[in-house]
Each structure stands twice: as structure tokens, then as C-alpha cells.
Structure 1
Amino acid sequence: MELSASKKEILLDRENLISSEQYEEQKKELRETDSMRQDGLNQLRNWISQNPDIENCLTDDSFLVRFLRVRKYSIPMAQQTLLKYLNLRQTFKSALCNLDYTEPRTLDLLEKGYVYVSPFRDCNGRRVIIYNLNSINVQTVTSLDIQRADMVTFETLLEDEECQIMGVTHIIQGGNIGPSIIPIFCTKDFGYLIKWGEQSFPMRHKSFIITSISSIIKYIFETTKSLITPKLRKRIWMNESLEKLHQKVGKHCLPLELGGTIPAKQMMDLWREELEAKRERLLSFDKIILLSDKGIITRRNSPRNDETGIGSVSGSFRKLNID
């Protein structure tokens, strides 16, 4: 699908906000060079072709390089992350497969503005994911609906190789939510997606900024923070003012309602253009099959023995450090 002329103009402006210094700094942090990239891709493709547990895996550069980048070109760790990613998709098929943004319940959340991505990068050159928890109708929305909307967003962003390198910033609004929203974010499956998704999903989560702090937001954070690594917890910022938010990301990447220049509705419309452009690509991921999880190293941290008691997940996940 071709993007509209207005979208192309905005994307050009967005891309110009990535300085060459920022881009090269991140590539250096990832240990990425042209030779490292090509050698890593060749090794991953060869490993996949000889792995009897993986069928129909995509082997194009954009799909495979995300696993190399998130593991800073450690081939064994990239292999493990790919296996864990496929295992996660099969374990949570209802949330991670058939990621069609036009599915009515997902589309309804997107149109109401629960989650969308700014067309502009922040001052660090990152794409900005904006969540408006106030838009959620707790009478009709389920935890699974939220999970699917989030995963459609993440997978679409990862199709942008610059996003794989620069990472993403998350901005969460929720000052007006009530306690009835708690069951949506504190379910067993949602807890496991947070815990194992951090270790298995090849996205660089660089910053979480929570605005309009309420007692409910604090409760949800306290309930779920034990499920994420200390490294990621250090990247969570709770701000009570727009001024602090502007200092961290810049006004230019925010919707008008948060001090920016473009209304949230326009940003949502532009984001849906990106979703449409990548829709068929995301659906093609479903053809990949992991026949066995035996190649995943160590079963020590299997959720079956997890002390939180929030459920049971087949397979096993080694705790690896995702940047």
C-alpha cells in the first residue's frame, strides 16, 4: 500500500529528526557494522535452515536483523531470542497471532485512541507510542483486546529498521481512570506477557513515561513491577507535569492535547496508514511454526514453577538481558 502524500511529508520530517550522531551512537552500542550485520544474517539463516524445530521461518534481512540487534550481535543469544519469540507467539496465540488491526475489537480501541504512534520521533530519535488509558471502556474491553492492540503496534513498529536501532519511548496517560480498570491489567496472562515478553520480544524499550499519576496507576505499577527486570524498572518515569514530559521528549512529537502541534485524532489517522501498509506482512508471520521448544536453553525459570502463581506457560524461557 502506498502512503499518502501528507504521510510521506511527515515521515520525511520525522526522519530528519534523527541526527547522524544519534544514529551512529546507537549502532555502535549495538556493535553493528556492515560486516557484522551480513555475517550475523548469514549465520542465522544457516542455523534456521538446519534447525528441524523451525518451519516456514521468514529469513529476510528486516525480520532476522531485529534479533541480532536486540542481542548486540551475539549469535547464540539471537538464536535463543528467536526461539523464545516463536514460543511466546505459540503460547499466546490469541494475543500474538492473526494480528489484523481491522479486527473489530482491535480497530475500535485504535479509533478511540487507546494506543497510537506519533509520526514524529522524540528528541532522542525514537518512535513514541502513546497510550490513553482514559479512552478504555471497562464495560466492553477485555485484557485480551488490550494485548492484541499493543502487539499490533509493536510488530508494526519493528518493521522499521530505524526503530529496531533507536528503540521506542512509551508515554502513558491515565489520570482519570477508576479502579474498575484494574482487572484488565492485572490478569495472569497479562502478567506473563509482561514478564516473558521483555525477554522474548525483540524490541528496545528505552523509556516509559507515565503522566497524570493517579492512585490506580500507582497500584497497577506496584502490582506488575516485580515482573520486569531492574534495568527496565529504571527506565520508568512518573511525571506529574507536562513541563517534565516536554523536557524528556520534546513538544514536537506530542499530540496537541499534550502540548504538541498536531491533534491526537490526526496522529491516529496517520498511524492507521502505517498499520495498513504493514497489515499483510504481520499476517504472514503466522505461517512460522515452532515444532518443539527443546532448543530453548534451561528450564529453571519455567513459569510452571513461578512463585507468583499467575498461570502456566508451556515451554521455557531463559532470562536474558534485552536492551
Structure 2
Amino acid sequence: MITATTKKIVAKQSKSNIEYSLHSLEFKHKNIVKKNLKKKNNPRQRDPSEPITMKETKVVDEEGGANPLSESLLKIAKRELREDRCTREQSLEQLRNWVIKNEDLQNVRCDDTFLLRFLRAKKFSVPMAEQTLLKYLNIRRTFPHMSTKLDYLEPRLADVIEQGYIFAAPQRDRHGRRVVIINAKGLNPKLHTSCDQAKAHFLTYECLMEDQETQITGLTHVGDFSGVSTAHVTNWNPTEFARIFKWGEQSLPLRHKEIHLINVPSTLKWLIDFVKNRVSSKMKNRLIIYASEKELQKSVDAKCLPLEMGGTMPMREMIELWKQELASKRDLVLGLDQSQLLSDRGIQRRSSFNSEKSSSGPNFVSQIESIEGSFRKLEFD
């Protein structure tokens, strides 16, 4: 039962339906844009009955259009991402033209909101944004069982959501960020597979990446690992976990600003320490483990935490609001499955990457297996 205090939140989330309609209009006419580019040397006057193409309209004009950003957000974008109107428009045009002309891409969205995911994640370096887009499509192509068909109404995925394994708090924190709650108790390893778990994460991030405010401010994560057992760890194939871990950090255009963990079992700390050694120093410094909920509450706004974690709103109410948000983005998220990467030849590889440190190499896998064994031993002891 949702209380009256959340009506404003629901009303704000309903704006995404309008945004989706605009996205759909532009996405449907990508092929027309391609034809127009090919006929650039033989221009003609547009037939009035011909649909408006992407070059003739803007889906989102942040400074006075359909979905304007606030002045404070524009300042954050300028300070942290080097974003201003001129940079944004020029970068969007370059990236959009690259997508349209790239023969390895098929049915890839070209609306502002989608392309800005990658530009903002890479602080408007167009070449880096291009690489991230290719890697994003490649991870979806390589792990389709985990990253596609992200329908929150699909029974298995719906149950993971209903149990509250992962959801975004409806309120933003003091930095304007959405707070992603991960509640390990909400995942039953006897009922839910690693695929179910991964799909819940992909769905959450795809939904949140559709919001331009979140693209700018980034995400805060809060993970409660109470109730984690051996089954949670052994649910994953070590090799697949290693690949997902490595590719996920490089491929998803997300700004992970803070990661707060509580109730972490001693054996799981070994895994976390191991993972920290394989991420950037920036990411490593953003991950904090707390000894108690009281310590956590000093760092994360209470309004963004469930009542069960010392916050103000019951977890069940947060979950219901999250389901409404997923419903509003359902068609948009499912539509991403139309995007195809026909070849990965354009992806630049890390030729100097040390195999000993590689998170896909045998050393990584063997250490994951060792951690699983330690977890089992700890439980039996």
C-alpha cells in the first residue's frame, strides 16, 4: 500500500512516458536518415508527407526543450563532465553520424538521451564514447541470456524484483544521485540462478541510464550482505563471473560515485578485497565497508534508505514504487534488444594488459574457486 507522501514521486516518474514517445519517434526513422545521408550530393526538397528525421528535430533540448535540466545540474555537468551546450551539440552530432555510418551497427538508437549515456560517461571524449558503445553492444551480444529480454513481468525476474533483491530508492540523496539498494536476503539461491541475478542488475541499470539527471550525477550503491551463504557464491560459474566482472566495468556507461557495504561476512571480504585489486584506484577508494548500520547512516541520507536499514520509508513501499518506474520504462528497455553489433572488429583491445592481473585469466578464476572453498570451510567449521 503506497502512502500519500509518495504521490509526488509517482508524478515525477510519469514524465518518462512522454520521453519514451519521443525516443520511439526518432528511433523509428533512423533508416530514413541513412538514406538522406547517402543522397547528400543530390539534395531534394522534403516531401511534406515524409516523417521528420533526426537531423530536423531534437528529441531533448536540455536548455529550454521538452525535458530541461535545472541550473544546478547544468553546473554539475560543466564542472564534472566539461559539458556545455556547444560541446554537447557538437559531440552528439559526431557520435550520431558515426553510428549511422558504421556498417557494424544495426538498429542502434540515435536519440540524444541514449547517446548522452556514453558521452557523459566518458566526459565528452567522442572516441572513448564510441568504444564504450561498441563494448556495451558486445556485452549484450556475448551474454544475451543475462542482458537481453529484460522484462520485469517475466516470472523469474519478477520474483527477484518482488523479493527486493535490487531496487532504486525513489528519493535522490544530497548529491542528486539515485541510490541503488542491494539486499542479499532478497535472492534465494535455491530458486534464483546467477542468470536471474545478473538480469536484475542489467534491468536496474538500463532503467536508470534512461534518466539524464542520473547520467550527470551518477549512482550511489548500498549493499546489505546479511544472510549471504555458500550457495550465493557457488551460484556463479567462476569463469563466467570473471568475464562479467571484467566486461561490466568497461562496457556499461555508468558513473559509480559511492559504494557502501554492510553486514559483509569475513570470507566475502576476501572476495571484495580481491576485486578491489582489479579495479581502478578511483573505484577502489569509493568502496567502503561499514561495521554497523549506524555508521552507514552517517554517510547515506536516511530518506534514501529503507526503514529496515534505518531509513524512513518501508522497503515494501520502495519496491512498489520501483515496479512502477520499471513499468514506465518497460517498452524502452525491451526495445534495446533491436540494437545489434554485427562485428566486434572496431573494439580496441588492451594489448599490454598483463595476463596475471587480467580478470578473465586463469589466475583470477583459480582464486575465485579458492574463495568458494574457503567459504565452504568456514560454514562447516
The normalised TM-score by structure 1 is 0.87
Offset at residue 154 of structure 1 (A)? 0.4
Name 1:308's counterpart in structure 2: 363
Deviates more, 1:100-109 or 1:242-251: 242-251
Structure with larger RCO (C-alpha < 8 A, sep 6+): 1
Do the aligned residues in 2 keep the contact of 1:171 with 1:208 (CA within 8 Å)?
yes
Counterpart residue identity of residue 280, structure 1: D
Counterpart residue identity of residue 259, structure 1: G
Q: How does 1:243-258 map to 2 (within 5 A)?
A: 243-258=294-309
Q: Which of the numbers 342, 352, 373 marks the counterpart of 1:291?
A: 342
Segments ≥4 residues shifted beyond 6 Å: 302-305
Name 1:171's counterpart in structure 2: 222
Counterparts in 2 of 1:186 and 1:219: CA distance versus 1, 3 Å: farther
- Structure number, greater radius of gyration: 2
Tell me how many residue pairs correspond in the alignment.
306
Gapped runs of 5+ residues in structure 1?
312-323
Name 2:269's counterpart in structure 1: 218
Counterparts in 2 of 1:12 and 1:125: CA distance versus 1, 3 Å: farther
The question of 1:25 aligning with 2:76 is answered yes
**Separation of aligned partners in 1, 2:342 and 2:144:** 14
Q: How does 1:54-203 map to 2 (within 5 A)?
A: 54-184=105-235, 187-203=238-254
Do the aligned residues in 1 keep the contact of 2:138 with 2:344 (CA within 8 Å)?
yes
**Separation of aligned partners in 1, 2:344 and 2:72:** 41
Matched residue of 1:308: which SS? helix
Offset at residue 197 of structure 1 (A)? 1.1
Do the aligned residues in 2 keep the contact of 1:114 with 1:131 (CA within 8 Å)?
yes
Counterparts in 2 of 1:172 and 1:47: CA distance versus 1, 3 Å: same
Counterparts in 2 of 1:286 and 1:258: CA distance versus 1, 3 Å: same
Name 1:10's counterpart in structure 2: 9
Counterparts in 2 of 1:283 and 1:124: CA distance versus 1, 3 Å: same
Q: CA RMSD in A?
A: 2.6
**Separation of aligned partners in 1, 2:144 and 2:277:** 25
Offset at residue 19 of structure 1 (A)? 8.9
Do the aligned residues in 2 keep the contact of 1:127 with 1:167 (CA within 8 Å)?
yes
Counterpart residue identity of residue 308, structure 1: N
Counterparts in 2 of 1:306 and 1:216: CA distance versus 1, 3 Å: closer
Name 2:314's counterpart in structure 1: 263
Counterpart residue identity of residue 177, structure 1: V
Name 1:229's counterpart in structure 2: 280
Do the aligned residues in 2 keep the contact of 1:22 with 1:124 (CA within 8 Å)?
no
Report Cα offsets for 1:135-194 as digits up to 9, x if no partner.
221212211111000000000000111000000011000123222221135632222222
Report Cα offsets for 1:210-254 as digits up to 9, x if no partner.
012322431331343344223211110001122221221211111
Offset at residue 255 of structure 1 (A)? 0.9
Do the aligned residues in 2 keep the contact of 1:192 with 1:310 (CA within 8 Å)?
no
**Separation of aligned partners in 2, 1:45 and 1:149:** 29
